[in-house]
Amino acid sequence: MISSVCTLFEGHYHYGVAALSNSLYNKGFRGTIYVGYRGVLPSWALEGKKETIGKWNEAIILNPIEGIQLIFLELTTGYSLTNYKPDFMLELWEGPAKDAEALFYFDPDIVVIDSWACFEQWANCGVAVCEDINSPLQEFHPRRQGWRNYFKNYNIDLTYKNQIYVNGGFVGVVKKNIAFLHLWVKLQESMGDAIGGLDKSIFLNQTHNSTIVKMEGFQFFDKSDQDALNATIEAYNRPVSYVGKDGMGFVSGEAIMFHALGSLKPWKVNHFARLFNGRIPRKEDVAYWRNSKSPISAHSKTKIRKKQLAINMSKFLGRFYKV
């Protein structure tokens, strides 16, 4: 199977793009990783060559090691990037990734820890999605009912599938299921009226005073793209393949990837400060720094060594120090 991967980033999330790419390579992925970005590229990405790829006149192609390449594509959309995922996937399939038989989106704060073969097998079972930490959401939960009532105004009928609420950080789609992406775009565009435009997201709300338009009662779109993704699953009439919370390491079990939720990303963590608060390094922190060295180095060798030493010391001292 010819598979491609894509991700979206701006700002300091380029560190996550590097570790995600390394983890994909280390677990057997061979092919192209399309990186949509806004703002300034980091120095490690600028080592690539500029080329014209489809509508992008100044795409940058980075070949860090044989068998894998990263293609950086500057975005002009005004959408919050978290709301741009299905649009970007469709742009790729209609352009530079037209030959891909499967396309996988990963948030740039994910590190892959299981073999790439697992992901391709997963997507062949149906649209591949992973249960969120906030799952489950029952059939008649006000949020689900809110989606049904809202989208009915746009002539979109939702049918309850199960109580699983999925995370928006990962989606895997084979080309025969491309209709899922078109449907996701349609629901997000309809959702835009409710949240004041797709330039809004929960993440902007956390860091700026750019708030989602508030409705009275339950806020059934306060997770923007993730809510639209879950609503799309209810509107979709073909198979969807779910992996549970263990898939992203949210609970104990056989993780396939680690997803660093929240604002404290692995590349920003001060492990000794966390230790003083009685917290040992998280699994996602360990996995991030384990995949930070090669084939792409977004950090200096000295910083990587210091972080790995801090993790090991914190894990050891954490056995004796509790708050």
Three-state secondary structure call for residue 83: helix
In Å, what is the CA distance from 272 to each residue of 4, 176, 299, 306? 38, 49, 19, 12
Interaxial angle between packed helices 225-235 and 179-195, expressed in degrees from 0 to 180 and rounded to the nearest 10: 130
The single-letter DSSP state of residue 142 is: H
Interaxial angle between packed helices 301-317 and 283-290, expressed in degrees from 0 to 180 and rounded to the nearest 10: 150
Distance CA 192, CA 213 (A): 10
Q: Cα Rg for the chain, rounded, in angstroms?
A: 20
pLDDT, tens only, 27-79: 999 999 999 999 999 999 999 999 999 899 999 999 999 999 999 999 999 99
Distance CA 106, CA 61 (A): 19
pLDDT, tens only, 14-28: 999 999 999 999 999
pLDDT, tens only, 73-127: 999 999 999 999 999 999 999 999 999 999 999 999 999 999 999 999 999 999 9
Q: Is the pLDDT of residue 230 over 90?
A: yes
Distance CA 33, CA 25 (A): 10
Tokens read off for 322? 């509790």
